[in-house]
Amino acid sequence: MSLVKIKDAPTVWNYLNGVINVYKPAGLTVQQVRHTIIGNLCRDLNQLKVRPPLQRVAIERGLDSKFLVHKTEDLSDNVLVVGPRYQTEDIRMRMSANHGRLTSGVLVVGINKGLSMAYRIQQNRPLRVYRVTGFLGKATETHFGDSRVIGKATVKHIGSEKINRLLASLQASHQKKMFELCGVDMQSQAAYDLAVKGTIRPADKSQPMIYGIRLVEFRRPFFTLEMHAINETEAYIGNLVHEIGLNLKSVAHCVGIRCIRHGHFELGDALLRKDWNLQCILANMAHANQLLQRHPEMLQQTSSELVDLDENVPDLQLRNERE
| Residue that is last in its domain, among 212, 245, 262 | 262
pLDDT score, position 1: 38
Identify whether 281 is part of a domain: yes
Q: Greater confidence, 19 or 323? A: 19
The dihedral built from the CA positions of residue 209, 214, 216 and 222, taken in this order, carries a sign that is positive
Same domain, 172 and 184: yes
In this structure, is residue 302 part of a structural domain?
no
Residues 170 and 244 in one domain: yes
- Residue 59: the pLDDT is 77
Per-residue pLDDT reduced to its tens digit, 14-30? 999 999 999 999 999 99
pLDDT at 316 over 60: no
One domain for residues 139 and 256:
yes
**In terms of domains, do 221 and 269 share one?**
no
The better pLDDT of the pair 215, 7 is held by 215
pLDDT at 86 over 80: yes
Q: What is the pLDDT of residue 162?
A: 94
Contacts of 275 (CB under 8 A, 6+ apart): none
Residue 305 has pLDDT above 70, yes or no: no
Average pLDDT, the chain: 85
Q: Where does residue 1 rank: exposed (0-12), middle (13-18), buried (19+ CB within 10 A)?
A: exposed
- pLDDT score at 70: 74
Residues contacting 4, CB < 8 A, separation 6+: none
Owning domain of residue 77: 53-81
Alpha-carbon distance of 96 to 154, in angstroms, equals 40
- Cα–Cα dist 192/187, whole Å: 8
Over its C-alpha atoms, the chain yields an Rg (Å, rounded) of 27
The CATH number of residue 179's host domain is 3.30.2350.10
Q: pLDDT (tens digit, 9 = 90+) per residue, 23-55?
A: 999 999 999 999 999 999 999 999 998 888 888
- Mean pLDDT for the stretch of residues 264-286: 94
User: Could you tell me if residue 43 is inside a domain?
Assistant: yes
In whole angstroms, give the CA distance from residue 211 to residue 228: 5
Number of domain units in the chain:
3
pLDDT at 190 over 80: no
pLDDT above 90 as % of the chain: 60
224 within some domain = yes
Q: Write down the pLDDT at residue 4.
A: 58
Residues 269 and 153 in one domain: no
Q: What is the mean pLDDT of residues 185-208?
A: 75
pTM of the model: 0.82
63 vs 207, which has greater pLDDT? Answer: 207
147 and 29 share one domain: no
- Mean per-residue pLDDT, 176-181: 76
Q: Are both 33 and 153 inside the same structural domain?
A: no
Whether 131 and 256 map to the same domain: the answer is yes
Each residue's pLDDT tens digit, 234-268: 999 999 999 999 999 999 999 999 999 999 999 99
Are the CB atoms for 141 and 253 separated by under 8 Å?
Answer: no
118 and 76 in one domain? no
* Residue 91 sits in the same domain as residue 148: no
Longest dimension (CA), the chain: 106
> Of 262, 283, 308, which residue sits at a domain end?
262
**What pLDDT was estimated at residue 323?**
38
Could you tell me if 132 and 257 lie in one domain?
yes
Position 170 pLDDT exceeds 80: yes
Among the listed ranges 151-155, 177-181, 240-244, which one has the minimum average pLDDT value?
Answer: 177-181
User: Domain for residue 320, yes or no?
Assistant: no
pLDDT band (50, 70, 90) for residue 104: very high
Tell me whether residue 135 is in a domain: yes
Instruction: Indicate whether 306 belongs to any domain.
Output: no
* Residue 84 binned pLDDT confidence (cut-offs 50, 70, 90): confident
pLDDT over 90 (residue 60): no
Indicate whether 155 and 197 sit together in one domain: yes
In the predicted structure, residue 99 carries a pLDDT above the cut 60: yes
Q: Tell whether 13 is covered by a domain.
A: yes
What is the average per-residue pLDDT within 154-166? 94
| pLDDT greater than 80 at residue 155 | yes
